[in-house]
Amino acid sequence: MGKRLVEWVDRRFPLTTFIKHELTEYPTPRNLSIWWTFGFFAGFMLVLQIVSGVFLAMHYKPDATLAFASVEHIMRDVNYGWLLRYIHSTGASAFFIVIYIHMARTLYYGSFRAPRELMWWTGQVLLLSLMATAFMGYLLPWGQMSYWGAQVITNLFRATPFIGDQVVIWLRGDFVVGDATLQRFFALHFLFPFLICGLVMIHLVALHFVKSSNPSGINLADKDNIPFHPYFTAKDFYGLGIFLIIFFYFVFFHPEYFIEEANNIPANPLVTPPHIVPEWYFLPFYAILRAIPDFAGGVVAMTLSIMVFALMPYLDRCKIPGGSRYRPVYRAMFLIFAIDIVALSYVGYEPPSETLAVVGQVATAIYFSLFLLLPFASKWEDQWLRKRGLPKPVVEMMESEQRQRAAGWR
């Protein structure tokens, strides 16, 4: 019966072919480490956020006079409403942790290099969409930090040349963040995740065309590939178990860890909190914004600090594969970059002071210098490493990749 049903479907829809091509015969490098699991985690977080979000939307009221109370209603009166809400609020942070590790892996192992530029760029669009979704979602609880965070961020669009003021009013639907803003942010916060699903499909189609990169940084010969299912389904679900233990530990035992205290006070347009901070995942970029004394300059720097990642395939001119693995200079730069991000986050969180302003400016300078330096450093590193003599396996890998390239990418 089952077999006949599958045959019936297969004559009308490529079900078996699809499963073969994408899972049971999809070749995956056998040396993928734990860092290659984070894409799977990100997909899982997207689903979890959509499911918990849809149920929250059944009880939430996008109205400036009711929003805060409806969140408290969810937390107190709705059956397991507290669980839905804490999964969703903790989920936002977990999503960004996963995405940032996913990006860090791509940068560390040089996975953005040819032929995976389009994966990197669709990833960049995904990051921007995720940031927009998170930012709009943060307004919905209608707490003090929600309100003033949205006020500050929408105000950044004032830097648009000539029509800045009009753009800000157009975004807010009012002269200040208000009921109109809340309602449109709710509508868009509901819409964006489905756009993200579509983008994820494109990201995955690109992935299944160029196949996974791997820690050696080079396309492997066929004998080094194993089918995705059952090997990586087994590995990914084991990883997911560990991830969920950590995630639910926060959901059940420290759910307020990622929520600012001030966001438990209802939004009040007449009282500005003494210190407005964005969510932790925006802190490095917020610090860059504040590091530039000029308003428009700060906005441009902040935008650049996010968009500059897209240039990575061109900034990195070293032809030696493996990202940081065989490249000490690139590895050092990656490490400095990681420390710099932590420093910027700290500066972004703390109230401004003279010392911190200097720290922020130095960290911002380091941030951009690393990207500016990369084309020269990578070129120099390439020549230096070749002169010093590359390890034999690396040379062999590069030769095999050259052969593959000559034969066409696939």
Binding mask 21-60 toward another protein (x if CB under 8 A, else -) reads ---------x------------------------------
76 binds another protein (CB under 8 A): yes
CA 66/CA 69 separation, integer angstroms: 5
Of residues 230 and 269, the one with the C-beta less far from another protein: 230
Among candidate residues 211, 206, 122, 232, the one with its CA nearest the CA of residue 401: 211
Determine whether 189 is an active site residue. no
Report the residue from 35, 337, 346, 371 that binds another protein according to the rule CB under 8 A: 346
The stretch among 43-51, 108-116, 186-194, 238-246 that binds another protein (CB under 8 A) is 238-246
Determine whether 236 is an active site residue. yes
Task: Classify 28 in phi/psi space as left (phi over 0), alpha (psi -120 to 50) or beta.
Answer: beta
Determine whether 212 is an active site residue. yes
Of residues 235 and 325, the one with the C-beta less far from another protein: 235
Binding mask 250-269 toward another protein (x if CB under 8 A, else -) reads -xxx-xxxxxxxx-xxx---
Q: CA distances (Å), 270 to each of 91, 178, 347, in order?
A: 31, 12, 27
Say how many residues touch another protein, by CB under 8 A.
49
359 binds another protein (CB under 8 A): yes
Active-site residue, selected from the candidate residues 236, 316, 340, 381: 236
CA 138/CA 60 separation, integer angstroms: 14
CA 389/CA 289 separation, integer angstroms: 43
Among candidate residues 234, 229, 218, the one with its CA nearest the CA of residue 28: 229
The stretch among 52-60, 102-110, 355-363, 369-377 that binds another protein (CB under 8 A) is 355-363
Report the residue from 158, 208, 235, 379 that binds another protein according to the rule CB under 8 A: 235
349 binds another protein (CB under 8 A): yes
CA 42/CA 10 separation, integer angstroms: 31
CA 280/CA 48 separation, integer angstroms: 20
72 binds another protein (CB under 8 A): yes
237 binds another protein (CB under 8 A): yes
Active-site residue, selected from the candidate residues 189, 213, 260, 279: 279
Backbone angles phi, psi at 275, to 5 degrees: -145, 110
231 binds another protein (CB under 8 A): yes
**Whether 68 contacts 141, CB under 8 Å:** yes
Determine whether 399 is an active site residue. no
337 binds another protein (CB under 8 A): no
Of residues 171 and 240, the one with the C-beta less far from another protein: 240
**Whether 323 contacts 107, CB under 8 Å:** yes
CA 136/CA 54 separation, integer angstroms: 15
Which helix (H) or strand (E) segment is 64 a member of? none
Active-site residue, selected from the candidate residues 212, 213, 305, 324: 212
What's the min distance (Å) between Cβ of 252 and another protein? 3
**Whether 204 contacts 2, CB under 8 Å:** no
Q: CA distances (Å), 332 to each of 337, 373, 390, in order?
A: 9, 13, 19
Which token pair is 120? Answer: 């990197």
Active-site residue, selected from the candidate residues 59, 73, 229, 235: 235
**Whether 327 contacts 381, CB under 8 Å:** yes
CA 142/CA 336 separation, integer angstroms: 38
| Count of helix runs (H) and strand runs (E) in the chain | 16, 2
The stretch among 54-62, 121-129, 154-162, 336-344 that binds another protein (CB under 8 A) is 336-344
Active-site residue, selected from the candidate residues 20, 73, 208, 379: 208
User: Could you list the active site residues?
Assistant: 208, 212, 235-236, 279
Applying CB under 8 A, the residues found at the interface with another protein are 30, 69, 72-73, 75-76, 82-83, 86, 226, 230-231, 234-235, 237-238, 240-242, 244-245, 248-249, 251-253, 255-262, 264-266, 280, 339, 342-343, 345-346, 349-350, 353, 355-356, 359
